[in-house]
Structure 1
């Protein structure tokens, strides 16, 4: 697949497998929820609400990496419908409370993709998905529909005449051959006298030891219920409960086809009582269609604040789909009574109006997703920031890394939870930032504090100015990413009056230069004695054998050379000035697109050695603006918008990573991007459409126009803001958030003078060039 996509990009061809969707209104196209469900996109097509707790979606596989979300478009059978999913991640988990509506003999194992008939898998047809709703026909003759409220999944299953049954499988989850311990160590299902089915399980997949609880009701009481314990041993007739590690229940209906069977299932991360409370609050009555209409209305509000004209029909669908995928995570993790499980493992209660969230893919999403939300959903950002502050204070590890359902996974490097906090503070979003400071300070300066893999080597980084390659794996990327987190933390410290700590952090944020060898112009592994690793090959991900086999995080020497986002003029000087730095960025995009055999599939979407399918370099196309050559940014951004995204299941060049890839497209298609979110400015690129109108901030209207824009006019020759000439190649967030009129003059030929003057180049590290 990877070779096929590289060949595609090399040819410049764009395949369109699905027709353009119908418009909801002028300029707004229906999202294609199957974008990203093929290839390596790792998205799912099922029903959810913006940032909702429940993601009710079909599962087709639990073993392949490309089925991290539980679904892949190429699969031909469905195991059932589960209530929690991850969107676009590179690691799988969740898939809680699988519901399997079917007929015939009871089967308790799913079978395989190759042989669905060996289990309860079912082939399927007539699949349809739209925001808040999913429908499919199963080979058993059952027609299944799904919709949601925030905490409740709703099913409507229409059976043919005659008997049928519904399997509830709590043993269903993402599998991985590397797991050595039992993936579920305790579970139970019970039914009460009123027919409410409840249950829980504790899972040790990615988020080790997370608990999930559910409460489920059916519109028609089953004629009998059969419970199965470990080993699929049937419990005694009349049993009302089963406990073990891999438990199941079968709800039998002697005449399942008499009328549709509706299911409403609430979940909770706290306890069964929380799930029951969520069900009672959000699931009143049995009107499936009304719930579906409300879900659709919620999504129309969330997507309707951005309208575009121009571009192609497919590009409008891609934009609408990207805006949809950018509002799936973080996911709600607090019950209607305000309780949630903190990262300290304790149950906490929120202040009135508060919310707790999960699925923060921060190594990815700090770059574009959180900045996008500061424009289009500042109220949501306020809620997220308050939550990140609370959870940072509660976590034994301090600032958030990759928390998932009450567990800090520590996945990826750094502690990038500080970045959205610093960004929000810089953009004027009110919050108690001081409440997060003790946790940030502990992570920054207390080298006896507990580490996960994400923060190893902090003491060496502080003492030597870099993480040495002979001591800690992924040392080069760690040095640069720790430096960026220092930069963000320093802003928070300064804002709350911690001047001495801010000075220390600002100074340490320059440590990136200690792993950039100016003599060769590359990021390079460095030993504790100060020497550089030789011989050096920028194509390689690492040099030494395991466990230090990677010197970079999901990158190689080429890509890691440009990790610095916050001190760009210092790096330009470090590499010999504007011309040398511009040539280096040119070389990145023009180098042979070869990777070593041990490169992970995350490194995808190559243009030269630039990898658009992974996050570390996604700001790099915009770096030309810092050397006065924004016309090169314009050409490359337009190419990436056109070549890396398609209206097709294989339409995202890499993992969507909880909306980061999608957010990059939304911002870049509008014409700007935050190279350093903490700087609170956007660098201009090349808008994709002739006109975009969106609501920003406090319902202000931002109009972006590029008259006559088309495939042959990628270059910006002039910009005006509110009718006045704007000579800068960037614009502050403070301007855009007030609303106004941004106009781009587009051309087939570049204007090499636009943005060339030193005064017109973007700020970095709070200063301008020269």
Structure 2
């Protein structure tokens, strides 16, 4: 299996940084309900540690993420940027937010002057490359806008964006040797032959167009661009594989292309650059540029981007709250809206998973960058609650992909390419959740067919053996333990689709299959344990902290401690299998109270350790809520409060693990409301403990969900009662259908656990 961790081989150690409060962390007045919610967004969060986020300019769900790149060589440069770095390579137009693999970083542009150190033979990210020093004190990073001063070239760079275009503004010193470097090689330098093909063409004396096809993470991924400069250039030099193309040609094709664009500049002269991108064609990129950035109004574009973010962020209004947690919350909300990304042109064309160009009806949209193994858990449930208008478009996009892709239902789709990253096929719960919650405009029968094929027919990564044996045997597949658990949950999701489609027999069969996780529970050790096809257990002696039990990797970014609790849909059966409530609680307590040591071959994603609970990686995210199901909700409440307070910070290294396209943030943003969807397909939310005293959430059509916490004291975290619209609410869950209608949810909280 292609995992995001085996894809990127090197882990950067990275010296601990000293985080100065700079323009990255704009000072905010301590006031309730600040008028400009973007002031709470601190884009430095996640750019340090192993958060893998980027600080550049984008708009909500935009196709363009115009951001600085400080490296591309290792795991901590998956987004192209790391806070510990002190030099910038340039500014590229597409980025991944918080992933564990390097890709995108398309169409890198870098200004320079007399200092220009361009070695055409130097590889991407080499020490002899065209870097410029910078300081965080000279950075401004706010939603929709980025600014930095490049010390070596004395150039000030400013960036902003629309949905499909990026706009740059560069202020130069006086120089007869001012240049831009346009790098079409820029990507992970460790990949063999990362560029299938590329092209560059000079158009007139102020424009360059081009394209490239990549073989990095998304194999065959295409990006096309049209770039226009506000000032005519004096000349353009093309380099192909480090060799100057001196035949006077205005068109160059190859695999390792760079262009040097020459200018003479006066003191404080400003040159603007605007770039349209497209997954379809250069003509599509030109059309996108003409439609979204017809003029040169940088300030107007910046203001429009800011307005888009302000509108998006005001979906949630928090009354009161500590400044630290307001910054964490609104930055998290921001990160929840930088993926999935728009991936169509203004005329409705898009490149499908079959590498063909398709035409959508007016008003429809196509998207990319679905980190589904991560985001089905909290990000998509949050969308159903607070961005309901987007859900049908996202779900219909996944269904289109399932029908267009030669690889079948989506796993981890990236710009028309299937990365096949991570196990399971977790587009199923995203689609099933939307259907279970009654979203309109989704053809259930059309949705069910490709997922039925995957669940009941495909021999995909051990699914044939899973159906035959009731588990994935460790002698036929790697990561068999995690695959069994993930397939069981996907069975549950596809069963919900079957039921909605009227396929009763399939529903019953799939629900039966969804119980297969019990077949890997070893009662002797008390863990989910890899098992051979002949039925005997792997690992003698058995080490539950190991990722490698059978002689090869048996769990996906996890060990037996985390994987044993990887059940979201049938927790009562897991409790029964483990011996009842008391033993289940003992095991949960043991998980959190273990030592946090891990074997040396454990992937770095297994982070944010509390005992053997790993908050830095997604399989653990529902576990603290499982106490609710065993009669110990007070343990859920205290544990959730602790995780909210200890696993997030408002510093660059403020994330316990990779952001993973919004999931790490979504856990915080949802849990801070006192809610979490343990099983998203159930259309229910589980109660935890709210962090803020009062939060108002727009749930669509002018309706508001107000969540209030009535506390005995500031320390109160334990649930003593819940009311919904003034009436007492029983139980530890509430239905999506209720919350989606708007209303007031009040948590009565005490300093000590409730007696009943």
Place the TM-score, normalised by the shorter chain, in its bin: over 0.9
Q: Secondary structure at the match of 1:667?
A: helix
Structure 1 residue ranges without an equivalent (≥5):
8-14, 449-454, 754-770
Counterparts of 1:380 and 1:341 in 2: how far apart (Å)?
20
1:315 paired residue number: 325
Alignment partner of 2:696 out of 670, 693, 698: 693
Instruction: Work out the number of aligned pairs and report it.
Output: 732
- Distance change in 2, residues 1:275/1:64 (3 Å): same
- In 1, the alpha carbon distance for the partners of 2:13 and 2:105 equals 30
- Whole-Å Cα distance in 2 between the matches of residues 523 and 348 of structure 1? 44
Check conservation: 2:237, 2:244, Cα contact below 8 A. Answer: no
Q: What residue in structure 2 maps to residue 758 of structure 1? A: none
| Structure 1 stretch displaced more, 467-476 or 107-116 | 107-116
Inter-CA distance 526–711: structure 2 relative to 1 (3 Å threshold): farther
SS for the counterpart of 2:139 is: strand
Spell out the pairing of 1:350-389 with structure 2 (5 A cutoff).
350-389=360-399
Q: Distance in 2 between matches of 1:186 and 1:51?
A: 28
Match of 1:581 among 567, 572, 584: 584
Report matched runs for 1:130-279 at 5 Å: 130-139=142-151, 140-163=153-176, 164-176=178-190, 179=191, 181-193=192-204, 195-236=206-247, 238-255=248-265, 257=267, 259-279=269-289
Mapped to 1, the partners of 2:345 and 2:55 lie a distance apart of 25
Listed one character per residue, the Cα deviations across residues 311-342 of structure 1 (whole Å, up to 9, x for unaligned) are 31111110000000011101111111111111
Q: 1:416 to 1:115 in 2, by over 3 A?
A: closer
Unaligned runs of 5+ in 2: 1-10
Tell me the equivalent position of 1:629: 632
Tell me how far 1:711 sits from its aligned partner.
5.5
Q: Deviations over 1:144-199 (max 9, x none)?
A: 100000000000000012331111110111233xx3x3111211110123632100
> 2:13, 2:544 → 1: CA distance?
24
Aligned-CA RMSD value? 2.2
More divergent stretch after superposition (105-114 vs 143-152): 105-114
User: Is 1:88 paired with 2:106?
Assistant: no
Residue 627 and residue 404 in structure 1: after superposition, are their counterparts in 2 closer, same or farther (change >3 A)? same
Does 1:540 find its partner at 2:546? yes
Inter-CA distance 304–423: structure 2 relative to 1 (3 Å threshold): same
Corresponding position of 2:294 = 284
Check 1:123–1:716 CA distance in 2 against 1; reply closer, same or farther (3 A cut). Answer: same
- Structure 1 residues 740 and 67: alpha-carbon distance in aligned structure 2, compared to 1, 3 A threshold: same
Measure, in 1, the Cα distance between the counterparts of 2:734 and 2:604: 35
Matched-pair contact (CA < 8 Å) for 2:70–2:88: yes
Shift of 1:114: 11
**Secondary structure at the counterpart of residue 242 of structure 2:** helix
Give the Å deviation of 1:101.
Answer: 0.8
SS at match of 2:273: strand
* CA distance in 2: counterparts of 1:469 and 1:516, whole angstroms: 14
How has the CA–CA distance of structure 1 residues 752 and 526 changed in structure 2, closer, same or farther, with 3 Å as cutoff?
A: farther
1:606-685 matches, within 5 Å, as 606-685=609-688
- Taking structure 2 as the reference length, the TM-score comes to 0.94
Match of residue 47 from structure 1: 57
Q: 1:333 aligns with which of 329, 343, 346?
A: 343
Q: Residues of 2 paired with 1:74 and 1:97: CA distance?
A: 24
Seen in structure 2, the aligned counterparts of structure 1 residues 156 and 322 have a Cα distance that, compared at 3 Å, is same
Deviation at 1:64, TM superposition (A): 1.8
Confirm or deny: 8 A CA contact 1:418 1:489 kept in the other structure: yes
Deviation for aligned residue 1:239: 2.7
CA contact (8 A) 1:20 1:317 kept: no
Bigger drift between 413-422 and 718-727 goes to 718-727
Does the 8 Å CA contact 1:689/1:710 hold for their aligned counterparts?
Answer: no
Distance 1:57 1:114 in 2: 16
Shift of 1:436: 2.2
Which residue of 2 is the match for residue 756 of structure 1?
A: none
Cα distance in 2 for partners of 1:185, 1:3 equals 28
In 1, the alpha carbon distance for the partners of 2:424 and 2:751 equals 42
Return the TM-score normalized by structure 1: 0.92
Kindly provide the CA deviation profile for residues 606-660 of structure 1, in whole angstroms up to 9, marking residues without a partner as x: 1111000000011000001111211110100000000000000000010000000
Q: Which moved more, 1:436-445 or 1:217-226?
A: 436-445
Q: Which residue of 1 aligns with 2:5?
A: none
- The alignment status of 1:77 with 2:87, answered yes or no, reads yes
User: Matches of 2:143 and 2:123 in 1, distance apart?
Assistant: 29
Task: Indicate the residue corresponding to 1:761 in structure 2.
Answer: none
SS of the residue corresponding to residue 497 of structure 2 reads helix
Matches within 5 A, 1:466-481: 466-481=471-486
Given that 2:373 and 2:411 are in contact with CA atoms closer than 8 Å, whether structure 1 keeps it comes out as yes
Verify the 8 A CA contact 2:206 2:231 in the aligned structure 1: no
Query: Which of residues 531, 556, 559 in structure 2 aligns to 1:556?
Result: 559
- Is the 1:672–1:682 Cα contact (8 Å) retained in structure 2? yes
Contact 1:16-1:648 within 8 A present in 2 as well: no
Q: 1:300 to 1:205 in 2, by over 3 A?
A: same
Question: Which residue is 2:7 aligned to?
Answer: none
Mapping for residues 598-609 of structure 1, pairs under 5 Å = 598-609=601-612
How far off is 1:105 after superposition?
A: 5.7
Q: Counterparts of 1:476-495 in structure 2 under 5 Å?
A: 476-495=481-500
**1:217-241 deviations in Å (ceiling 9; x for gaps):** 01111122222222232433x4312
Q: Which residue matches 1:440? A: 451
Checking the alignment, whether the CA contact within 8 Å between 2:336 and 2:665 is kept in structure 1 is yes
